[in-house]
Amino acid sequence: MNEIKLLSSEIINEIAAGEVIERPVSVVKELVENSIDSLATKININIELGNSLKIQVLDNGLGIEKKYIEMAIKKHTTSKLIKKSLDNIGTLGFRGEALHAIANASEFKMISKNKNMNEAAEIVVLYGKLTRSRPSKGNLGTLIMVKNLFNKLPVRRKFLKSDKVESLAIKNFITKISLAYPNITFIFSQDNKEKLNLLGRQENNNIEARIKEIYGENFLKSSFYDEKKHPDFQIKIYASIPTYNKSNWQQTTIIINGRIIKDKLFLGVIKAAYAGLLAGNRFPVVALYINIKPTNLDINVHPAKTEVRILNRNLLNSSIIKIIRNNLEKIGLRYSVEAEKELIKKIKKHNELKFNKDLLDIGMNLFDVKNKEEDNKCLYEKENKFEDNQNQLGFAKAQINNMFIVAQTSDSLILVDQHAAHERIVLENLKKNYFNNKIVKQVLMMPEVINIEHGKTLLLKNKATISSLGFVFEDYGDKSIIVREIPAVLGNINILQLFQDLYEQIRKIGEVNPMDSSIEKILSSIACHNSIRAGKKLSLEEMNSILRLMESTPNSGQCNHGRPTFIELKLKDVESLFGRI
């Protein structure tokens, strides 16, 4: 090895800066967090990417006293560690690194004024060298302008993604931090074009208002809110119902003590809470607020403070799972309003096309409906008066294509996917009875011998588990097993196919452990084999009994993959499809 030497201070600074500010979004994050720590109620963020790479953050916070303004950009200088201890941190910043790192990596200007000053103070720092310090004009608060970021660090610049990606990252960050601080107004512009204008509110329900601003009304309608207090922590959560799902975690936001946390473990916990309700490649949208006693939290794990260590994490995890599960079970028959909107949109589009092609071409003016009054006495007003309002899913009227049940309530039309709905009913029944140890079995009139040569050993090895799921079977000859009883709820099914699937599932999972989600997976795969397949003709009685079972079954608004089991179209929406209202 060569001689060992201390690195030059420039290199040390570059290394340290690399940890804190990697990309433009890290600069925005540090500056916005400083503004929040300074108790600002309004923060304006302006960026211009491209060659000059400018970032500007203006706040109306407490400002910096003139005598400290030069000190603020020095290394390891902070006003935030009041008690001189890292185990009780109440501010977003505390490491005293950000301004130093940013001022080292850019052409940096800061103008600040606090309440004791008559005029603002300004400093200019060019790549770490203070070049100007003078009085200036400015309001109470702080303005920081960063230009030509990373110009002297060509490697860092080279690694930046496209302007579009960097700008999206900044927008995402502001969106997420705004969820944590609904009392603050955030205005974000790029190239002087406003991209976000989020109004801060001081009222008690300001979180809900912000959630609506960010996620939209549909999310609020398709989610639940709940909270839980524990001596060591407090949880507030907005979580989507399973039919409102996305292809990634992008929108899910986890906020711990006012800090946006990127922690895969939490995402795993949330996903576990939705086990059996969502397909593996679909994700819920969740805004999770956790407040923990600062002494139980170590945020000094990561330079950008996006990871944390928490004492008693297991208790916190199980509380999160419980809150989500309990609420989803209570929700029962809700489904995402997006599914309904999507359907209406599709029907409208389809109709428009049809009108154009079939009717408008031959010169009819469809919209010239003269006798509107008379028309409006619509069919269901005249014929189908519904007295009984008790059943949420109404009464079956017909079956389409042997796949869908059409039902009617007093004010809506319901379409049910019979197989998906029944699958959910069966799964919930199996789950409930499995965990209470009382799955009801049916003895097969004719025991079924199934030839399952290469799966046999594995199935016999897991006989105890499979028996606990409601199956009675034994070894039978060289290549077969004989099945004598199956769970009653399954009805008349193809047993060979079910055992083949069971074998596949167990093979994939390896060890079946009744204590984890593996049992849930197996139960789901069994439930898939319910007897009400798509394609089965049903009598009105059978249809109605499915509707009643859906009403009394938890989570029955979606199938095991998070798709809706039914769609409700309000009659007024149907009327609007026909241009009646």
Write down the least CB distance from residue 70 to Mg ion, Å: 16
The sign of the CA dihedral 71, 77, 82, 84 is negative
Residue 318: C-alpha distances to residues 255, 313, 324 (Å):
17, 9, 10
Residue at shortest CB range from Mg ion: 93
Task: For residue 258, state whether it binds ligand ADP (rule: CB under 6 A).
Answer: no
Write down the least CB distance from residue 137 to ligand ADP, Å: 17
Write down the least CB distance from residue 509 to ligand ADP, Å: 47
Identify the DSSP state of 538.
Answer: -
Task: For residue 99, state whether it binds ligand ADP (rule: CB under 6 A).
Answer: yes
Residues between 8 and 37 with contacts to ligand ADP, criterion CB under 6 A: 30, 34-35
Task: For residue 121, state whether it binds ligand ADP (rule: CB under 6 A).
Answer: no
Q: Across the chain, how many H-helices and E-strands are there? A: 20, 22
Write down the least CB distance from residue 28 to Mg ion, Å: 12
Task: For residue 78, state whether it binds ligand ADP (rule: CB under 6 A).
Answer: yes
Considering only 93, 138, 455, 562, the residue that binds Mg ion (CB under 5 A) is: 93
Task: For residue 303, state whether it binds ligand ADP (rule: CB under 6 A).
Answer: no
Residue 174: C-alpha distances to residues 179, 253, 290 (Å):
9, 12, 19
Q: Residue 35 binds which entry of ligand ADP, Mg ion, none, with Cβ cut-offs from 5 to 8 Å by kind?
A: ligand ADP
Amino acid letter for position 262? K
d(CA 7, CA 108): 25
Cβ count near 337 (within 10 Å): 18
Task: For residue 38, state whether it binds ligand ADP (rule: CB under 6 A).
Answer: yes
Pick the closer one to ligand ADP by CB: 62 or 297: 62
Q: Residue 242 binds which entry of ligand ADP, Mg ion, none, with Cβ cut-offs from 5 to 8 Å by kind?
A: none
d(CA 420, CA 501): 18
Considering only 45, 49, 53, 98, the residue that binds ligand ADP (CB under 6 A) is: 98
Task: For residue 98, state whether it binds Mg ion (rule: CB under 5 A).
Answer: yes
Which range, of 5-13, 71-79, 261-269, 284-292, touches ligand ADP by CB under 6 A?
Answer: 71-79
Binding mask 276-315 for Mg ion (x = CB under 5 A): ----------------------------------------
State the maximum Cα–Cα separation within the chain, in Å, rounded to a whole number: 98
3-state secondary structure 281-344: CCECCEEEEEEECHHHEECCCCCCCCCCEECCHHHHHHHHHHHHHHHHHHHCCCCCHHHHHHHH
Task: For residue 61, state whether it binds ligand ADP (rule: CB under 6 A).
Answer: yes
Binding mask 37-76 for Mg ion (x = CB under 5 A): ----------------------------------------
Pick the closer one to ligand ADP by CB: 184 or 214: 184
Task: For residue 42, state whether it binds ligand ADP (rule: CB under 6 A).
Answer: no
Residue 139: C-alpha distances to residues 56, 62, 119, 133 (Å):
15, 11, 8, 17
Amino acid letter for position 283? F
Task: For residue 95, state whether it binds ligand ADP (rule: CB under 6 A).
Answer: yes
> Which residues, 6+ apart, have CB-to-CB distance to 75 below 8 Å?
13, 16, 96, 97, 100
Write down the least CB distance from residue 523 to ligand ADP, Å: 50
Task: For residue 149, state whether it binds ligand ADP (rule: CB under 6 A).
Answer: no
Q: Residue 61 binds which entry of ligand ADP, Mg ion, none, with Cβ cut-offs from 5 to 8 Å by kind?
A: ligand ADP
> Which residues, 6+ apart, have CB-to-CB distance to 229 below 8 Å?
none
> Which residues, 6+ apart, have CB-to-CB distance to 15 below 8 Å?
7
Containing 415, the helix (H) or strand (E) segment is strand 412-417
Task: For residue 245, state whether it binds ligand ADP (rule: CB under 6 A).
Answer: no
Containing 374, the helix (H) or strand (E) segment is helix 372-375
Considering only 28, 56, 58, 94, the residue that binds ligand ADP (CB under 6 A) is: 94
Lookup result for tokens 């030509």: 148
Contact residues for Mg ion (CB under 5 A)? 34, 93, 98
Contact residues for ligand ADP (CB under 6 A)? 30, 34-35, 38, 59, 61-64, 72, 77-80, 93-100, 142
